[in-house]
Structure 1
Amino acid sequence: MKRIFLYLILSAVTIAPALAQKDADAKVILNKLSKQYRTYNAVKTDYSLTIDNQQAGIKETYTGTLIARSKTNKYKVIAYAAGTKKVAQDIISDGKNQWTYLKDANEVQLSAADNSEEGFNPAKIFTMYETGYKYIYTGQKKIAGKIYQVIDLTPEDSKKTFFKVRLMVDKVKNQLYSAQIFDKNGSTYNYTLRTFTPNYKAAETVFTFDKKAYPGVEVVDLR
């Protein structure tokens, strides 16, 4: 399950100025998007993640909830088992520590939060494109009466396991709608925001692991 989230955030990156030699139209859209997200104290989104590999006969959809406070690298991810509303995993970070709770094992793994460029950091999913990618605006797409701006990202590091990311941005709301990752192994990972709540009022306790809420849990300290 953790591997799924690694794809979901693409190897989340730190905020940095957009690099030169990139499509001007795409740059305008992305800069506007990231500027807006930076104004939010915290956000909450219910998401779906569909993994599709036709050659391997795989098509699975996962759902969950993400609460993120990007300014302080804090987040909580609640992931449900495929096709259900049963919690399979929680991933929580206070910016310094990360707790990964595995329900089947009733175990939580405690590790130091990795805030590096290659680190696992869902708090930065909304600004993942700001460094390490070339990008181009490919036009608009209409879905269910809404207009989305489509931007294709190509990683500058050819060693990445994926070769393209397709972002769809709601033109009216100026919000990220979906991110589709194209893997070199033939799989696609389509992350879609089903709901989005800006300036979500999240208490600090949301971003810490409360052992009392998980009776009998075993804590494995990996720090």
Structure 2
Amino acid sequence: MKKTILFTIISLATLGKTFAQKDTQAKAILDQVTNKYKTYDAVKTDFVFALENPQANIRETQTGTLVAKSKSNKFKVTIYGKPVAGKPVIAQEIISDGKSQWTYLKKDNEVQVNEVDKSGEGLNPAQIFTIYQKGFKYLYTGDQKLNGKLCQVIELSPLDAKKSIFKVRLFIDKAQKQIYSALIFDRNGNKYNYTIKSFSSNANVPDNTFTFDPKAHPGVEVVDLR
């Protein structure tokens, strides 16, 4: 289930390739978000991700960090497990330098290496704040307060009806003009709630952030699938 949470986060940008059925007010709001995001070289965000499936009696919450350079498609997603002595413990990571992608599971002390999928169907969290740009129709449904923030609410649905995710509800921070929260619904009855806790733009991120160093993980098994 933890893998499901992680891969749902990073698969949001892969639901298609074209705009359609645009609501003009929704488009204006989303264009503001896009234009602001494009001015950033790198972003760093801490988030909370919750999975809920009432029918299966599942409710899980995890925290994580995303560092991304959207212009070069570089990213690092870190998911944390149960804290030890009050400190976060890394449970898993997905890292990409734009060419190769590493998926590291601490519990198994294993990392899988793949080439980055450039077909447009691959996983790319570097585009997490512009997920709406490809493959969605969208509708502005009004303003709503969420955790004290006034948000503009936009409903997204994929153009491809065969996708497992059938609806995404975006909450756009009206003052900051950026995505604050996303609620994702899939056909298996799962609801995924992704909420930004902190956001840093133009973060100072060294390039080695986007590569996996086996030497820093003694005994790690490297499974190279390239």
Same fold (TM over 0.5): yes
Residue 204 in 1 paired to residue 207 in 2? yes
1:79–1:90: 8 Å Cα contact kept in structure 2? Answer: yes
Aligned-partner Cα distance in 2 for 1:61–1:167: 19
Residue 56 in 1 paired to residue 59 in 2? no
Secondary structure, counterpart of 2:168 in structure 1: strand
CA shift for structure 1 position 132: 0.5
* 1:9-20 correspondence to structure 2 within 5 Å: 9-13=10-14, 19-20=19-20
Superposed CA RMSD:
1.8
Identity percentage of aligned residues? 55
CA shift for structure 1 position 80: 1.2
Residue 105 in 1 paired to residue 108 in 2? yes
Aligned-partner Cα distance in 1 for 2:71–2:224: 26
Residue 31 in 1 paired to residue 31 in 2? yes
1:150–1:169: 8 Å Cα contact kept in structure 2? Answer: yes
Aligned-partner Cα distance in 1 for 2:125–2:83: 22
Secondary structure, counterpart of 1:128 in structure 2: helix
* 1:95-134 correspondence to structure 2 within 5 Å: 95-134=98-137
> What's the counterpart of residue 45 of structure 1?
45
Aligned-partner Cα distance in 2 for 1:149–1:121: 25
> What's the counterpart of residue 153 of structure 1?
156
CA shift for structure 1 position 15: 10
> What's the counterpart of residue 4 of structure 2?
3
CA shift for structure 1 position 160: 0.5
Q: Residue deviations 1:101-142, cap 9 Å, x none?
A: 111111111110123321111111111110100000000011
2:16–2:159: 8 Å Cα contact kept in structure 1? Answer: no
Secondary structure, counterpart of 1:142 in structure 2: strand
* 1:64-213 correspondence to structure 2 within 5 Å: 64-81=64-81, 85-213=88-216
Aligned-partner Cα distance in 1 for 2:15–2:145: 31
1:51–1:60: 8 Å Cα contact kept in structure 2? Answer: yes
Q: Residue deviations 1:38-74, cap 9 Å, x none?
A: 1100000001110001111111001110000010010
Secondary structure, counterpart of 1:12 in structure 2: helix
Aligned-partner Cα distance in 2 for 1:193–1:11: 15
AA of the residue aligned to 1:60: E
Aligned-partner Cα distance in 2 for 1:13–1:120: 7
CA shift for structure 1 position 219: 0.9
CA shift for structure 1 position 90: 1.2
AA of the residue aligned to 1:7: T
Aligned-partner Cα distance in 2 for 1:23–1:127: 17
Give the TM-score normalised by structure 2. Answer: 0.92
| Deviating 4+ runs (over 3 angstroms) | 13-16
Secondary structure, counterpart of 1:177 in structure 2: strand
CA shift for structure 1 position 9: 3.1
Aligned-partner Cα distance in 2 for 1:148–1:189: 18
Over 3 Å counting, the alpha-carbon distance change for 1:82 and 1:181 in structure 2 is farther
AA of the residue aligned to 1:6: F
- Which of 212, 215, 219 is equivalent to 1:216? 219
Aligned-partner Cα distance in 1 for 2:180–2:24: 21
CA shift for structure 1 position 4: 2.0
